[in-house]
Structure 1
Amino acid sequence: MRTATFTHFGWSVFVLLNLNNKRVSWAARFSVVGPSHPIITYVGDEVMLPAFLSPELNAQGFDIKWTTPKSSSPVLLYQNNSIINRIESYTGRTVFSWENLKYGNVSLIIRNVRVSDGDLYKCLVFSEQWEDETRINLIVEVLGSHPSISMISTQDQKTTLECSAEKWNPQPEIIWRDMNGEDMTSQSTVATQEDAEGLLTVSSVIPVKKEFNVFACLLRSKAPKTDWPSRLIIYSFSPGVSVWLVLFCVLLAVCVAVTPLLAIQWRKMKEKNTRYDTIAELLPVWFLCKEIGMSQHVTNAEWRRICSSAADVTFDPETASPWLIVSENGKEVRHVDTR
């Protein structure tokens, strides 16, 4: 009887202790809750990667680690009430609030966001009896250059159009439309190349078959900011037209535009030449008149010499010119018009 009673008492103690252990275990459990959607930010901005404990617990005595697949070292480590940045590129750019840990807030803030910050972040929280994690996808948006369209001829004489742009992140959506507004994107192929900054150079190539068409290339950010416009460029294309023919047409148009100006200028030059020729022809006459005028001027000395050489002359009316009328004394004559 005693043995049975002892045994029953022992089982009661064992069951009670086991239930107490289970109660402690369930009370220590928690979940790390983060957003189900990606966090989108922009270069130079400040972004928060939100993470919370559920139920709300004081996490100041827990170990917390933020990591990314890019590095084996943690972005941030909270351990023994100390905050440590293990990755140099994040030093001075992360904010982790010790006060907020009281309320189960284990969020990480990144300042002055860089393109390289875009990654899949993991937040791990450890207690003595439990651990959990959440993953947050951070996308860093960069709107790159305007797209440009160029014409490319392949070795098999096929013509294609290439739409390209630089400094984008992440890869933008490239849409082709023809002159009727029809979507031609399915006929294109896209290629990307990453530069040293982690930004993308994107290009899309589409074949051209119609004799004439107008193509529009639209680059659209997959997560556009409200004040960021989509980039659009329109390109007119007419295959089969030689580059030399295009140059000839351009030169012809220039010639047509310049010819009237040249004709007007030539007419003005001709008028000037005619004026100069007339002046050149009159120059000898002008010099002759000048010499005659100079010869008509008699100095005082010459006049005195002429007067001192005067002679007494008597005109004979019989032998005088019929244009002259001689006075009776033969000393004076005058001219008369006999017409």
Structure 2
Amino acid sequence: MALMLSLVLSLLKLGSGQWQVFGPGKPVQALVGEDAVFSCFLSPETNAEAMEVRFFRGQVSSVVYLYRKGKDQPSMQMPQYQARTKLVKDSIAEGHVSLRLENITVLDAGLYGCWIGSQSYHQEAVWELQVSALGSVPLISIMAYVDRGIQLLCRSSGWFPRPTAKWKGPQGQELSTDSRTNTDMHGLFDVEISLTVQENAGTISCSMRPAHLSQEVESRVQIGDTFFQPVSWALAVKVLGILCSGLFFGIVGLKIFFSKFQEAWAGTLFMVPAGTRSEMLPHPSWFSSSSPSLQGPEKKVRTGSGGDSGPRDGSPTALCF
């Protein structure tokens, strides 16, 4: 009945020479981060250059964009739409105008309208902006072994509106699941769904589908016998023990090697080549209480005859003091 009345009123207005305002004939869909275009036109074609063209949200007083007296009026816009809108009026003389809304966010979703008026007459059209955000590809992971089965968890983030999340079996049948949803700081949804499956479950899929789109994002995993093979903890402990023992003995061996190497290196510092008169510090073993060199005044120790200062067989010489 209401539809018939609307048609009758429209015909009466057309018959009296008045024009009508038409907007998008269906909801406008846009993805987060993209642009949306709202188009309005007068029927029959009427020059709207001298008219007021107002795009609004929810109610006429909430201005998204305003064109009045042949000029744009950016100061009349709501703050959240400033620097994000552009009125395309190339065909305004034929009664066609379009508004481009840039960088769509989830907060832009809602009802919008176009109001066009002259001094004696005005009309408006209303439509819905549906905003969507495609989230990440679902990630399937194994959480634990429970109830003779394994617990799977499927995660996906960055959706708007909240998607329909499902587990599906090998034949595409829907499986019962537990779900949890969180909202991030940008108003996007993060979804988690869990499922417990038994041995030889076959191919299991996790799918996410937003409300406004037919596009579905899906991931799959093959559940076979490998996931249910028992783990030999005794063997694992033995292997770990062998590795630890090898590491321990390796460290001890290196310590002994470096200790002996340090002693041998330190001993060579106190040796003097044969046939030289270079003075060096005596070997630590010479500093004993019975050493003649420590008794009485300074002495020179000489061996052999003919005044030779040391042996000729290449052995180290005694130091002179």
Q: Secondary structure at the match of 1:50?
A: strand
Corresponding residue of 2:55: 66
Residues 238-249 of structure 1: matches in 2 within 5 Å? Answer: 249=231
Cα distance in 1, alignment partners of residues 247 and 79 from structure 2? 73
User: Which of 158, 169, 183 is equivalent to 2:173?
Assistant: 183
Q: Which structure is higher in strand share? A: 2
Report the Cα offset of residue 266 of structure 1: 9.1
Query: Scaled by the length of structure 2, what TM-score is found?
Result: 0.56
Letter of the 2:154 counterpart: C
Cα distance in 2, alignment partners of residues 70 and 192 from structure 1? 32
CA contact (8 A) 1:143 1:168 kept: yes
- 1:104-161 Cα deviation digits (max 9, x unpaired): 122110123333223332222223454333333333332334434575999xxx9975
Tell me: CA distance 1:205–1:265, structure 2 relative to 1, closer, same or farther (3 Å).
Answer: closer
Letter of the 2:92 counterpart: L
1:163 aligns with 2:150: no
Tell me: CA distance 1:49–1:209, structure 2 relative to 1, closer, same or farther (3 Å).
Answer: same
Return 5+ residue gaps in structure 2 as ranges. Answer: 1-11, 255-302, 306-321
Letter of the 1:120 counterpart: L
RMSD of equivalent CA atoms: 4.7
CA contact (8 A) 2:23 2:127 kept: no
1:32 aligns with 2:22: yes
Corresponding residue of 1:232: 219
CA contact (8 A) 1:39 1:49 kept: no
Corresponding residue of 2:271: none
- 1:200-247 Cα deviation digits (max 9, x unpaired): 2233355x3645636431224566799xx9352538599xx9xxx98x
Letter of the 1:144 counterpart: G
Residues 255-266 of structure 1: matches in 2 within 5 Å? Answer: 255=237, 258=240
CA contact (8 A) 2:88 2:100 kept: no
| % identical equivalent positions | 21
Corresponding residue of 2:184: 195
Report the Cα offset of residue 73 of structure 1: 1.8
Report the Cα offset of residue 171 of structure 1: 2.5
Length, aligned pairs only: 242
1:109 aligns with 2:100: yes
CA contact (8 A) 2:47 2:93 kept: yes
Corresponding residue of 1:284: none
Corresponding residue of 2:280: none
CA contact (8 A) 1:35 1:50 kept: no
Cα distance in 1, alignment partners of residues 119 and 232 from structure 2? 81
Corresponding residue of 2:124: 133
1:80 aligns with 2:69: yes
Cα distance in 1, alignment partners of residues 104 and 13 from structure 2? 44
Q: Secondary structure at the match of 2:88?
A: coil
Corresponding residue of 1:41: 31
Residues 286-305 of structure 1: matches in 2 within 5 Å? Answer: none
Q: Secondary structure at the match of 2:62?
A: coil
CA contact (8 A) 1:192 1:203 kept: yes
Query: Scaled by the length of structure 1, what TM-score is found?
Result: 0.54
1:90 aligns with 2:77: no
Q: Secondary structure at the match of 2:17?
A: helix
Tell me: CA distance 1:81–1:176, structure 2 relative to 1, closer, same or farther (3 Å).
Answer: same
- 1:264-289 Cα deviation digits (max 9, x unpaired): 879999999xxxxxxxxxxxxxxxxx
- 1:73-119 Cα deviation digits (max 9, x unpaired): 22122333343342101101100134432121221101233332233
Tell me: CA distance 1:189–1:62, structure 2 relative to 1, closer, same or farther (3 Å).
Answer: farther
